[in-house]
Amino acid sequence: MADSYLGVRLDVLRRSQNPDGGWSYYTGKRSWLEPTFYGALVLHGDPAADRAWSLIKSWQQPDGSWPPTAGAAISGWGAALCLTMAQIRGEIDGTFLKGLAYLLKTAGTESEIWRRALAKFGLVDPGRNLSLKGWPWKQGTSSWVEPTAHTLIALKKAYTALPAPEVAERIRSGQALLLDVRCKDGGWNYGSAWTLGEDQRSYPETTALALLGLQGRAEAAGSVDLAKGWLQETPSSLARAWITIALRLHGIGVPNTNSPLKGSGSPDLMVVALEALGAPEGNYRLLKTEAAG
Amino acid sequence: MKISRRDFIPLAGAGLMAGYAGWEGLRSRRNAPSGPSPVAVIKATSYSEDLAQRMLRGVRECGLDVRGLNVLLKPNLVEFDPNTSINTDVSVVAAAYEVFKSLGAADVMIGEGPGHRRDTYSLVEMARYREISKFDDLFVDLNRDDVSAVEKFADRAEMYFPNTALRADLVVSLAKMKTHHWAGATLSMKNFFGLVPGSVYGWPKNELHHIGIPESIVELNRIFRRSFGIVDGIVGMEGNGPIQGTPKPAGVLVMGSDLPAVDATCCRIMGINPAKIEYLRMASDGNLGNVEESRIEQRGEKISEVRTNFALIDSFRGLRLT
């Protein structure tokens, strides 16, 4: 096990956990929410994961959001990750409810009423349906594919425990937004499919993330084929890891890999965690969601 | 008195991020250069030439002294497409490393926080940056570095920046000479967008678009004022830049300590009127640097000898320098 694809990565993660229980993106740095979430997901059930969750759970801000790292006064997308983790751990408590309320009240600024009015009267051409609501990286900015996909995972899990109409509506709208901004090539860019009259090309990592948000949706099928092709072609370890996770969650077989750790070429601990998560015996199933909304 | 970014006080207990001590004082003493700003234009027609020698000549023409300084080289690494010229070429980055080491810098690091792609190491691999000797020891992913808050950024109360950039005594903007479909041109000043951490603000760094692109460019250059600009115009990009444009050989390296002056000179080389680039106008009005030709002391090649008009998208036709 220790020498296996997964074992090598688990060993790296265990050795690189910070004394406070979190993980940094790179060894020797401060703990950040995002790599800590993935480290905890990979090691779910292990005391190391409990310490990681205790740390980031304590970071919740008064508005229900989470900062990207301790003390940064930013209401960021990490709330989606923390809500997902709370549900995986079965902690439907005050922290969870505050976080859920935050996500339900947060939307990309492009869907504000005055922007929709400008588009309706033809004064601007946003190239997308502004009535659909996604989620931003940071409160007060526009919605993007990645934070929207992460929030859809959190809300779909929440809907199972708390089937409220407002949760269902945000899931419906968020999924519709992802489908609305899909690029002509069948994948996803970071945001819009179209800018200044030019079609944008899609990227493997954002396509994989959108597929995670669209689990259970038949419309995702064509994009799954595109992602399968990218798995062989992309030079990005991060993109390969996300595609592997997305394909497995869509029930697509992914060839086992025996590539050594150094083969990934990245010292980024989050990439290491995602590779471990997507291993055949990895914890990718924890991100599984049912169709909802 | 010399105030270094090292003066900022990192974490002070309880995981709280410290502000950038003395920041307001630093801002207030940053006035425009009292005299004309030297900007060197050095011919370089190919990436296989001895770029270090040419760059060294330009840096000396500008009178830059880096002895004992901790230098951060900040290339423009955005996206990779083998069919065009998006990024600062690896040979320019390698030459800059050699030049600043040879000039006696105490330490020279390379740092970038790509604005679009999440996988920084995949980008540095594709752009061949890892061919630079000991690159992994020199490189800092500015998107995922530890951060500290700096008070006041445009209308924001604070903004977070990578500690590596805040601690540097000199940030060298190793930019690419490109047109830009929102800003008109992206050069040494706009290149500082890569100093904003994606781990805090996301990919892309949408916060800057909400603040305003020209406003953000100017604010970044106020904060990272101890800087030097070197623009890779050996092969730039014209048309729908900064990513989807087409390669445009201009055959020059343009450099200087006054970044607005460097960018204004680049604009003139590209056939763009710098007075019509909003962030340059704001930089000039805000005493951040010299933009008027009469306030720039041109060294090396004359602009008229290297000018080559970059194609402009329709909405920017009015920027053309007559």
In this prediction, residue B313 has a pLDDT band, given cuts at 50, 70 and 90, of: very high
pLDDT value for A291? 66
The pLDDT tens digits of the residues spanning B236-287 come to 999 999 999 999 999 999 999 999 999 999 999 999 999 999 999 999 999 9
d(C-alpha A135, C-alpha B106), whole Å: 44
The verdict on B201 touching A (C-beta cutoff 8 Å) is: yes
- Average pLDDT on A7-25 reads 96
User: Cis ω on the peptide bond leading into residue B242 (within 30° of 0)?
Assistant: yes
Compare all CA atoms of chain B with the CA of A201 and give the residue at the minimum distance: B244
In this prediction, residue A259 has a pLDDT band, given cuts at 50, 70 and 90, of: low
- Output the CA torsion sign for B178, B183, B188, B193: negative
Burial class from Cβ neighbours inside 10 Å (0-12, 13-18, 19+) for residue B103 reads: middle
Compare all CA atoms of chain B with the CA of A70 and give the residue at the minimum distance: B15
The pLDDT tens digits of the residues spanning A198-218 come to 788 899 999 999 999 999 999
pLDDT value for A147? 98
CB contact under 8 A, A198 and B200: no
Query: Is the confidence at residue A92, as pLDDT, over 90?
Result: yes
d(C-alpha A156, C-alpha A170), whole Å: 10
The verdict on B210 touching A (C-beta cutoff 8 Å) is: yes
pLDDT value for B8? 40
Pick from A144-158, A185-199, B25-39: least confident:
B25-39
- State how far the alpha carbon of A268 is from the alpha carbons of A16, A40, B76, B140, in Å: 11, 16, 20, 11
CB contact under 8 A, A265 and B17: no
- Whether the CB-CB separation of A31 and A24 falls below 8 Å is answered with yes
CB contact under 8 A, A235 and B125: yes
Residue A272 CA from chain centroid, whole number: 16
B167 CB neighbours in chain A (<8 A) are none
The verdict on B212 touching A (C-beta cutoff 8 Å) is: no
d(C-alpha B261, C-alpha B256), whole Å: 8
- Average pLDDT on A102-122 reads 88
B301-B85-B185 Cα angle (round to 5): 65
CB contact under 8 A, B201 and A267: no
pLDDT value for B295? 97
The verdict on B17 touching A (C-beta cutoff 8 Å) is: yes
Percent of chain B with pLDDT over 70: 90
Which residue type, as a one-letter code, is found at position A44?
H
d(C-alpha B286, C-alpha B283), whole Å: 5
pLDDT value for A200? 84
In this prediction, residue A287 has a pLDDT band, given cuts at 50, 70 and 90, of: very high
Question: Strand pairing partners for B107?
Answer: B70
A15 or B24: which leads in pLDDT: A15
- Whether the CB-CB separation of B272 and B321 falls below 8 Å is answered with yes
The pLDDT tens digits of the residues spanning A154-165 come to 999 999 989 999
Strands B37-43 and B246-256, how do they pair? Answer: antiparallel
- Across A144-172, b (16+ Cβ under 10 Å) vs e yields bbbbbbbbbbbbbbbbeeeeeeebeebbe
pLDDT value for B168? 98
Q: How far is A90 from chain B (nearest CA, A)?
A: 28
CB contact under 8 A, B122 and A72: no
Q: How many CB atoms lie within 10 A of CB B161?
A: 27
Residue B149 CA from chain centroid, whole number: 21
Q: How far is B27 from chain A (nearest CA, A)?
A: 23
d(C-alpha B107, C-alpha B232), whole Å: 22
The pLDDT tens digits of the residues spanning A229-247 come to 999 999 999 999 999 999 9
d(C-alpha B122, C-alpha B127), whole Å: 9
Which residue type, as a one-letter code, is found at position A137?
W
In degrees rounded to 5, what are phi and psi of residue A275? -65, -40
CB contact under 8 A, B200 and A76: yes
The verdict on B199 touching A (C-beta cutoff 8 Å) is: yes
d(C-alpha B144, C-alpha A268), whole Å: 9
- State how far the alpha carbon of B116 is from the alpha carbons of B80, B183, B203, in Å: 10, 17, 5
Query: Is the confidence at residue A123, as pLDDT, over 90?
Result: no
Question: Could you say which of A137, A237, A239 has the minimum Cβ distance to residue B202?
Answer: A137
Spatial CA neighbour of B37 closest among B315, B208, B254: B254
Query: Is the confidence at residue B20, as pLDDT, over 70?
Result: no
Q: What is the dihedral of CA A253, A257, A262, A263, to 10 degrees?
A: -80
CB contact under 8 A, A146 and B141: no
pLDDT value for A198? 76
d(C-alpha A149, C-alpha A206), whole Å: 9
- Whether the CB-CB separation of B288 and B221 falls below 8 Å is answered with yes
Query: Is the confidence at residue A263, as pLDDT, over 90?
Result: no
Compare all CA atoms of chain B with the CA of A108 and give the residue at the minimum distance: B206
A198 or A283: which leads in pLDDT: A283
Query: Is the confidence at residue B13, as pLDDT, over 60?
Result: no
The pLDDT tens digits of the residues spanning B202-248 come to 999 999 999 999 999 999 999 999 999 999 999 999 999 999 999 99
Token pair recorded at residue B269: 């080389």
In degrees rounded to 5, what are phi and psi of residue B255? -150, 160
Mutate to test the interface with A, among B16, B118, B156 (most CBs of A within 10 A): B118
pLDDT value for A122? 81
Spatial CA neighbour of A172 closest among A186, A147, A192, A152: A152
Query: Is the confidence at residue B129, as pLDDT, over 90?
Result: yes
In this prediction, residue B19 has a pLDDT band, given cuts at 50, 70 and 90, of: very low
d(C-alpha A209, C-alpha A225), whole Å: 14
Q: How many CB atoms lie within 10 A of CB A109?
A: 14
In this prediction, residue A191 has a pLDDT band, given cuts at 50, 70 and 90, of: confident
pLDDT value for A1? 61
pLDDT value for A258? 55
The SS3 of residue A251 is coil
pLDDT value for B25? 33
Query: Is the confidence at residue A267, as pLDDT, over 60?
Result: yes
